[in-house]
Structures are given as C-alpha cells and as structure tokens.
A and B are shown apart, each in its own frame.
Chain A
Amino acid sequence: MHISEGVLNGPVLVAGASIALAGTVVGLKKLELDNIPQAGMLAAAFFVASLIHVPVGPASVHLILNGIVGLLLGWAAFPAILTALLLQAMMFQYGGITTLGVNTVIMALPAVICYYLFKPFIHKTHRSAMIGAFACGAGSVLLGAILVAAALMFTEKNFLEVAGLVVIAHIPVMIIEGVITAFCVAFLKKVKPEIFM
C-alpha cells in the first residue's frame, strides 16, 4: 500500500515526513541496542512476506501485514517499516524519496495504533486473541487506506473519487489480512509465545 511519487503536494509531503521522522525517533529511542538484530530481521521477514500474493477469486492481492508488525514491534514498527520501504525503493523502485515519509506513516501509524488497541487481547484466551488479531489485521489496513485517502484529499479536493476507489479496493484486502493475522497470531502463540514481548 503506497502512494507513488509526484502525486501529493508539498504540505502533505512535509506533514508525512515530519510524522514519520517523529515516529522513527521514538521508535529508535525505545529500541534497545540488544533488540536491533531482532527488529532488522523482522523487517526483512516483513519485506519477504509482503511479496506473497494470495488468491481472491480470479485475481490476487499481496499482503501488507503492518498489523502483525505492529504487534511484534510496537513503536519500532516505524524504523522497521521505513527500512523496508527504503529497501523496496532501492531494489525495485516501489516508491521514492519524497513519498518515503508519507508511505511510512501510512503503514507504521496504523501498526502502532493497533499495537496499543489490540495487544492486550493477545495474551488472553485463544478466542479473544483470535478476535483481537483479526481486528488488528483488518483495522491496520483500514486505517492505512483511510490515511491514503486523507493524503489524497488534503492534496486536492477533487481527488474524492480516486480516494473513494482506494478505500473500496482495500475492503477485500482488509478481510484477508484480518483472517491471516488471526491465524498467524494463533500459530505464533502456540509455537513461540515469547515473540510477543
């Protein structure tokens, strides 16, 4: 989920870059030295997992997984997602320099919000952990889509139709992300519960 270069106007780009900078500073501050390899490795796993395409009827969508990154990393989701986006830009030119900030915010801010909202559910019973994880996966995509729409609307009021299309296009992705996050959290709770520190 990202906005390509050249679409947004100056103020929106500056706002995005400032929020991303603030989030990254907080994330790096909270990230202890001993956890840097952990965060870097999870950023790599996030990058690889986002290459997975899952089928939806005749088409396929690629996963975003910012919800689960939020659950695993908390505030460190900001530097982790920034790193992953920088790598995507360098290796495949998905995104670029000026939109790096906005795109980081689009994925990392929902991750941090969902971390605070749904993290408490993860340590409860199997049932509420699954429900919380579904809400986390779906919610982080929804929030991301809303942020994309907001970035477009703040750039130009006439982007209404395009912004609407973006949100609608993300509805199937939301459901799939929710389902996958729920199963993934159930799996991690069984296999390696200490990963949710």
Chain B
Amino acid sequence: MNQDSFAEGHSVIHRIDPRLRLVGAVALAVVVAVSYDFTTLITALALSLLLALMAQLDLRTVIRRLLAPILFLLLLWAVLPWSFKGESFLTWGLITLTRPGITLCAQISLKTIALMVTFMALLATMTVDTLGHALNRLRFPDKLVVMLLITFRYLFVIEQEYRRLLRAMKIRNFQPKTNLHSYRTYAYLIGILFVRASERARRVHGAMICRGFSGKFFSLREFSPHPWNGAFCFFITFSLILLIILEWVV
C-alpha cells in the first residue's frame, strides 16, 4: 500500500474542523452527482480545483489517483458515442457518432473528475482515525465507528503479515502462473490470512475486555475551534447555492 497520502499537511483545508469538511463534501457530492447542466458541471470542476489548490494537494499524486477513473471514462468514450441512439454528429463510413452519446460522455467525465477532486481535497486530507472520530460526533452508531477504527488499525498489521507470507513463498520459488497450483497456493495464502486475522481478533477482543470495553465508544479527540471554520461554512454554502441555482433555476 503506497502511503503518499494527502492526509498529512498544513494547508487551510487541513486545519478546518473535519466534521464540517465531511458534511460539506457530502453535500457538494450529492448536488454534483445529480447535475447535468454544463455550466453547473464546469463550475463544480472549477470549485473542486480551487479546493484542491487550497488543500495544496500534490498535482502528480492527484493525477495518479485519477488514472483508474480516467481509464473507465476512456472505455465510455470508446463505446458510448457510436452505440448511443440519437441525432448523428459525425459519420465515418459505417460508424456514426451521435450527439447525445458525446454529450453524456462529456457530462460523466466532468462529473467524475469534479467529484474525485472534491473528495481528495476535503476528505482524503484527513486520516481515517480522524474520520472515525468525526463520524462518532455526528452520531453514527458506535458499532460502525469501532469497526472502522479496528479495521484501519489492523489493516497494516495484516498487510505486513501478507507481505511476509508472500516473501516466504517467493523464497521457496513460487512463480504465479495460470494454473491450478498457483490458484491453490493463493487460496491457502488467503485462508491463512483469514485464520490469523481471526486469531488476532480473539486476542484483541480479550485485551479490549481487560480494559473494560463495553461497547460504548469514548472519543477523546478534540476538534478545536478555528477561525477558518466560519469562512469554510460560508464558502460551502455559497458554492451549494451557486450550483443549485445554475442547475435548476437559470
């Protein structure tokens, strides 16, 4: 797991209350996801880039993270323009590209990138444990928050376990190929990961019981007030109103 994440940083966005960022990101995402007007989508993209600039995101990492969705978008651009039924835009021998097909591809592309960049700027700029505590303050169920935090805590432990097993396999000259032997080996590797995870869960649970775990999650994290919080609220509200007016009023 490459760890060059956006979570560490000292930008304006990093200092804003995670609860506000979470609520703001969800609200913006919901509005953008149901918009189709090009003015709205381009405004949303501009806003997301502005947020990314404010969060001082590393441009190269942003582009690398966008590669997977861009590959999917390329698939859409390869298929939709000719398979979509509608008014023709361009005809090339047997192939007809339709106007609604191209429009839809452009809408989806703008939306995808705006949504992803907003996510990176507002949510990926906090660590998962911060998200857990923020969810707890927003009254999400304790069980879910505890589960999220346990999963995050032990993800890296289990990943190291996996790397260790993989190294042992390589030292014994395991070479993955398309055959039953390779698949069986991978199946056993996964099996032992589940077994060790389960054993570890038993020990961790024991330790939690010893420390008096009763199901209630006590979050000791303090989200201290910051002068930028108000400005951020204003900015998000303004953006939401602007997007809604552009999409549904104008």
A→B interface (CB under 8 Å): 4-10, 13, 24, 28, 31, 33-34, 36-45, 47-49, 51-52, 54-57, 63, 65, 68, 72, 79-80, 82-84, 86-87, 89-94, 96-98, 156, 158-162, 165, 176, 179-184, 187-188, 191-192, 195
In the complex, A191 Cα to B104 Cα: how many Å? 52
In the complex, A167 Cα to B214 Cα: how many Å? 45
Q: A87-B128, A187-B187 are in contact. Are A37 and B112 (CB under 8 A)?
A: no
Contact (Cβ within 8 A) A5 B33: yes
B contacts with A, residue count (CB < 8 A): 82
Known A37-B202, A48-B193, A161-B83; further 11 A-B contacts with Cβ < 8 A: A5-B33, A5-B112, A45-B158, A51-B159, A52-B162, A97-B30, A158-B83, A158-B84, A158-B85, A165-B75, A183-B187
Q: Is B176 located at the chain interface by the 8 A CB criterion?
A: yes
Contact (Cβ within 8 A) A180 B131: no
In the complex, A192 Cα to B199 Cα: how many Å? 10
Please tell me which one of the listed residues A57, A82, A162, A180 contacts residue B75 in the complex, with CB atoms under 8 A apart. A162
User: Which A-chain residue is minimally distant from B187 (CB atoms)?
Assistant: A183
Chain A neighbourhood of B110, CB < 8 A: 6
B1, chain A: closest CB distance, angstroms: 7
User: Which A-chain residue is minimally distant from B100 (CB atoms)?
Assistant: A158
Contact (Cβ within 8 A) B194 A52: no
Contact (Cβ within 8 A) A192 B198: yes
In the complex, A92 Cα to B83 Cα: how many Å? 32
A184, chain B: closest CB distance, angstroms: 4
Q: Is B150 located at the chain interface by the 8 A CB criterion?
A: yes
Max chain A CB contacts within 10 Å: which of B182, B187, B195, B202?
B187
Q: A36-B143, A162-B79 are in contact. Are A98 and B115 (CB under 8 A)?
A: yes
Contact (Cβ within 8 A) A47 B143: no
User: Which B-chain residue is minimally distant from A169 (CB atoms)?
Assistant: B75
Please tell me which one of the listed residues A9, A40, A48, A181 contacts residue B150 in the complex, with CB atoms under 8 A apart. A40
Contact (Cβ within 8 A) A54 B183: yes
Please tell me which one of the listed residues B32, B114, B124, B151 contacts residue A47 in the complex, with CB atoms under 8 A apart. B151
Contact (Cβ within 8 A) A13 B33: yes
Chain A neighbourhood of B189, CB < 8 A: 52
Q: A6-B112, A10-B33, A55-B177 are in contact. Are A195 and B198 (CB under 8 A)?
A: yes
What would 10 A/B residue contacts be, using CB atoms closer than 8 Å?
A5-B69, A6-B111, A9-B34, A33-B143, A92-B1, A158-B101, A162-B83, A165-B79, A182-B187, A187-B191
Please tell me which one of the listed residues B30, B154, B202 contacts residue A98 in the complex, with CB atoms under 8 A apart. B30
A117, chain B: closest CB distance, angstroms: 20
In the complex, A54 Cα to B169 Cα: how many Å? 14
Q: A4-B68, A180-B183 are in contact. Are A43 and B147 (CB under 8 A)?
A: yes
B191, chain A: closest CB distance, angstroms: 4
In the complex, A39 Cα to B148 Cα: how many Å? 10
B247, chain A: closest CB distance, angstroms: 12
Contact (Cβ within 8 A) B197 A41: yes
Chain A neighbourhood of B83, CB < 8 A: 158, 160-162
Chain B residues 159 to 206 lying within 8 A of chain A, measured CB to CB, are 159, 162, 176-178, 180, 182-184, 186-195, 197-198, 200-202, 204-205
